[in-house]
């Protein structure tokens, strides 16, 4: 489906507070140092419409199915309007979250049946996946202590530790089923140690 793909598509995943944002600029700098065009984006969001949906998703209360469908509505727009065109012209794309987050949060966290998500994913993505996903893995407790230092909690970040433990477990299960694409980074270590591993993983591309 869609246009040919020349650039690489890299996504960052993990529970809130794992450290994705901390490493985003570092990863972007490493990729740009190779002289390729890089588009940095995020989900939910990444397009004008997607950012409006993000504001709803992070702030308004809604049913789990509504949440799932809005995530995929934003993603359909994001892939068609921004990600695929960028990859087709040879740019690389780095996205702070993508579809693995829906498997982890909506199925793992909220408990939505995986078959319902898969139907939406087959429809909107038709097999489209990242080339590399870096999963920043920490316990729910470490993530919570990092979040509490950092910011005001949005609708997801107000969830209890048990929710984030389910999200983490769903991410790890997904990583076990796709070990070539999803690389688990032990994010409980120091930022310097993590950067060393990121360098090695990016070299692999």
In the block, which residue shows the tokens 């140690």? 193
Q: 6: which 2 tokens?
A: 């020349």
CA distances from 28 to 4, 31, 41, 138 (A): 23, 5, 11, 22
Number of residues that make up the chain: 205
Query: From the CB of 65, what's the least distance to ligand ADP, in Å?
Result: 25
Which one of ligand TYD, ligand ADP, none is in contact with 42 (Cβ closer than 5 to 8 A by kind)?
Answer: ligand TYD
Q: Within 19-58, which residues bind ligand ADP (CB under 6 A)?
A: 19-22
Contact between 19 and ligand TYD per CB under 6 A:
no
Based on CB atoms, which residue is closest to ligand TYD, 16 or 144? 16
Beta strands in the chain (DSSP E): 9-14, 38-42, 92-96, 132-137, 182-186
Q: What is the DSSP letter of 151?
A: -
Q: Which of 168, 11, 156 is nearest to 75 (CA)?
A: 11
Based on CB atoms, which residue is closest to ligand ADP, 132 or 194? 194
Q: Is the peptide bond before 2 cis (omega within 30 degrees of 0)?
A: no
Q: Within 54-83, which residues bind ligand TYD (CB under 6 A)?
A: 71
Based on CB atoms, which residue is closest to ligand TYD, 8 or 42? 42
Contact between 152 and ligand ADP per CB under 6 A:
no
Q: Within 80-119, which residues bind ligand TYD (CB under 6 A)?
A: 96-97, 101-102, 105-106
Q: Which of 7, 17, 46, 50 forms a contact with ligand ADP (CB under 6 A)?
A: 17
Q: How far apart are CA 43 and CA 127, in angstroms?
A: 18
| Binding region for ligand ADP (CB under 6 A) | 14, 16-22, 146, 149-150, 187, 190-191, 194
| Binding region for ligand TYD (CB under 6 A) | 16, 21, 42-44, 71, 96-97, 101-102, 105-106, 154, 156-157
């Amino acid at each position: 489906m869609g246009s040919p793909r020349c650039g690489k598509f890299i996504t960052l995943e993990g529970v809130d507070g794992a450290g994705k944002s901390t490493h985003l600029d570092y990863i972007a700098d490493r990729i740009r140092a190779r002289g390729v065009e890089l588009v940095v984006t995020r989900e939910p969001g990444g397009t004008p419409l997607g950012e409006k949906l993000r504001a709803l998703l992070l702030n308004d209360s809604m049913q789990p199915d509504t949440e799932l469908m809005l995530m995929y509505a934003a993603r359909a727009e994001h892939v068609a309007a921004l990600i695929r065109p960028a990859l087709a012209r040879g740019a690389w794309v780095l996205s702070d979250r993508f579809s693995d987050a829906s498997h982890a949060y909506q199925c793992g966290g909220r408990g939505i049946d995986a078959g319902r998500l898969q139907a939406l994913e087959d429809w909107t993505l038709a097999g489209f996946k990242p080339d590399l996903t870096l999963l920043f893995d920490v316990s729910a407790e470490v993530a919570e202590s990092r979040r509490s230092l950092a910011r005001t909690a949005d609708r997801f970040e107000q969830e209890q530790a048990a929710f984030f433990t389910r999200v983490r477990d769903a991410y790890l299960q997904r990583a076990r089923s796709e070990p070539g694409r999803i690389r688990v980074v032990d994010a409980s270590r120091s930022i310097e140690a993590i950067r060393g591993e990121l360098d090695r993983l990016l070299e692999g591309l």
